[in-house]
Amino acid sequence: MVKLFLVEDEIIMRDGIKKHIDWKGEDIEFVGEASDGELAYPLILKTKPDIVVTDIKMPFMDGLQLSKMIKKDNPDIHIIILSGYDEFTYAQEAVSIGVDEYLLKPISPSNLLVSIKKLKTKIENERSSSDQVDWSKEALAEKNAIEQQKLFQAIVSGSMSMPDLLNAGKKLNIDLTAQFYQIAVFKYSLPGETGDVYSEKQNLLLGKVMNFINEIDECCYFDRGTEGFALLVMGESEENVNAAMSTVIEQLKKINSEVEDADYFCGLGNIVNRLSEVGKSYDDANWAFSYRYFREPNQVVRASDLDAARGAQLDVDVSAVDTNEKNRKVFEKFLRSGSASEVNHFVEEVFSSYDEKNVKSLLFLNYIVMDLYFAIVGFIRDLGYDTKDLGNDFADINTAVKSISNFGEAEEYLSEGLEKAIKLRDSNSVKKYSVVLKKVIAYIDENFEKDDISLNAVASIANISPNHFSTIFSQEVGVTFIEYLIGKRMDKAKELLMTTNLRSSEIAYKVGYKDPHYFSFMFKKTQGMTTREYRSRGKS
């Protein structure tokens, strides 16, 4: 609905306009009136009208002065000036200010209404165009984010041929042709917050990152859900890739420093010279990224450095006699947030932190295995599972300890246990998300008619980060959040078209659209016909 404010010092003229136009019937909200510009200006700031109708000659502040002030602070407000002066200089100044209409007095309410309706149509078309662009952008962004995740998985898993990868990239405006490639995995952390929980600070960080990355042609952003995000940097030489990656990482550090209490960790893979080998760079980056369990935050760990220092003592000092406390902390942290793909690297680094002499001791090796076994068991029990859910081979610790005779067998046993525990954790998360999604869908079904419902708002209700929520919703429901919302609105619109005599504009408001024109556009786009055609076809 369009809002209008009237400024006129002649009370008879003001009352005539106010009382002789059927504002409600014309779908216009009359939000206020004033007798001069000085009184009108603060009221206009408060009521935020779309149209101001003002006389030109008034005491204290005339219509031209008022129009200048309005346009300076609120350039989107449309202005109609009423004037008893048929002089070119007045009209010229009004045009220079940005006034939409310059009408001469005397003017009847009906003739004034013609100009008001013309402006109303213009405003509604502007809104429709703006809403259409905003919704299209939001819908496209959600869909592209999901498609980019699929593309990234295809790149790092090698499940698609190079031509297919290049074509899939083109559809997303991503040019994957280059001579060299490098992957970085990056994660921001905030105290007391886990990766999948809705957080304004996390949204702020990731929003800044995406805005920055979108400006860099040789870098692509891929969301990794609870594990942060991955960046693919491309170039025509190793020097180009190194320089671009350094620039990106420095900017990511800067973004981190702008948010209070935020930490980061980055794992950097090695540079490869084939698109088909990007998966290897990703594995290297994950290996480097797994060091976040052993090192302090705010570090960039390079796989190339780890290759040279492999087997060296880790920064963290896990002494031979202090395994119980320190190993449990590291293990419990990994169980809460690690991924199955990191297990082998993680266990390898845990064991490399022990003195070689002690690891060769069977008694010491058994002590390590038992201690970490109980850390895993304690974790799955907290999730509501039992040791039998880990499988017979792992659940029987006595048999396992008797069969473990060397370093390699101990690593293999604990890796298997960690993988099983993480699968149980992830399975538990799926159940949790399933319950959350049922509540969210019920919320959407009950509130789809509200015009302020959005992905961000619904994600906050679910207490899941928007990107992660979008992925889960799409996987579980089969359509994106916006597609589901539009579907609900269109279903209700069709019901109202068939069961009521409401006008299309009235139905638009009832199903969550502020602008009837945009509603009509969406209806035709999704249903293949206009609302009038749908209603006529149903009745026939």
CATH superfamily assigned to domain 2-107 = Response regulator (3.40.50.2300)
336 or 139: which leads in pLDDT:
336
pLDDT score, position 510: 92
Mean pLDDT for the stretch of residues 303-322: 53
How many CB atoms lie under 10 A from the CB of residue 445? 11
CATH, range 178-310: 3.30.70.270
Residue 329 has pLDDT above 80, yes or no: no
Q: Which positions ≥6 away from 429 have C-beta within 8 Å?
A: 196
Hey, what amino acid is at 363?
L
CA angle 358, 360, 366 (to 5 degrees): 80
Fold adopted by 437-539: Arc Repressor Mutant, subunit A (1.10.10)
pLDDT score, position 308: 59
Provide the edge-to-edge strand list for the sheet that holds 263-268: 219-223, 229-235, 180-189, 263-268, 299-302
Percent of the chain topping pLDDT 90: 38
Residue 226 has pLDDT above 90, yes or no: no
pLDDT score, position 198: 59
pLDDT score, position 316: 37
pLDDT band at 318 (very low <50, low <70, confident <90, very high): very low
Question: pTM (2 decimals)?
Answer: 0.58
In angstroms, the CA 244 to CA 3 distance is 51
Residue 245 has pLDDT above 90, yes or no: yes
Question: Strands 263-268 and 299-302: what pairing?
Answer: parallel
Residue 196 has pLDDT above 60, yes or no: no
- Of 55-69, 73-87, 276-290, 338-352, the one with minimum mean pLDDT is 338-352
Q: Are 347 and 407 in contact (CB under 8 A)?
A: no
Average pLDDT, the chain: 84
Longest dimension (CA), the chain: 106
Residue 225 DSSP one-character state? G
The two three-digit tokens of residue 497, written as one number: 């078209």
Q: What separation, in Å, do the N-terminal and C-terminal C-alpha atoms of the chain show?
A: 32
Residue 319 has pLDDT above 50, yes or no: no
Mean pLDDT for the stretch of residues 403-429: 83
Q: Can 178-310 and 437-539 be said to share one CATH topology?
A: no
CA distances from 538 to 491, 494, 497, 531, 534 (A): 14, 10, 9, 11, 6
Domain spans in the chain, listed from the N-terminal domain onward: 2-107, 178-310, 311-436, 437-539
Query: For residue range 357-402, what is the model confidence (pLDDT) as tens digits?
Result: 666 667 777 777 887 888 888 888 888 888 888 887 776 777 777 7
Mean pLDDT for the stretch of residues 253-273: 92
Question: Strands 219-223 and 299-302: what pairing?
Answer: unpaired
pLDDT band at 408 (very low <50, low <70, confident <90, very high): confident
CA angle 397, 399, 402 (to 5 degrees): 105
Q: Are 351 and 359 in contact (CB under 8 A)?
A: yes
CB burial of 167-188 (b: ≥16 within 10 Å; e: otherwise) equals: ebbeebebebebebbbbbbbbb
Residue 315 has pLDDT above 50, yes or no: no
Q: Are 279 and 300 in contact (CB under 8 A)?
A: no
pLDDT score, position 184: 96
Residue 539 has pLDDT above 50, yes or no: yes
How many CB atoms lie under 10 A from the CB of residue 232? 25
CB burial of 303-312 (b: ≥16 within 10 Å; e: otherwise) equals: beebeeeeee
pLDDT band at 277 (very low <50, low <70, confident <90, very high): very high
- Of 1-5, 79-83, 136-140, 464-468, the one with minimum mean pLDDT is 136-140
In angstroms, the CA 253 to CA 283 distance is 23
